[in-house]
Amino acid sequence: GQNIDQPTEMTATEGAIVQINCTYQTSGFNGLFWYQQHAGEAPTFLSYNVLDGLEEKGRFSSFLSRSKGYSYLLLKELQMKDSASYLCAVDDYKLSFGAGTTVTVRA
CB of 80 to another protein, least distance (A): 22
Question: Is residue 84 close enough to count as binding another protein by CB under 8 A?
Answer: no
**CB neighbours (10 Å) of residue 69?**
18
Mark the segment that binds another protein (CB under 8 A) among 13-21, 39-47, 54-62, 73-81.
39-47
Question: Is residue 87 close enough to count as binding another protein by CB under 8 A?
Answer: yes
Distance CA 3, CA 66 (A): 15
- How far does Cα 3 stand from its chain's mean position? 15
Amino acid, res. 96: S
Question: Is residue 17 close enough to count as binding another protein by CB under 8 A?
Answer: no
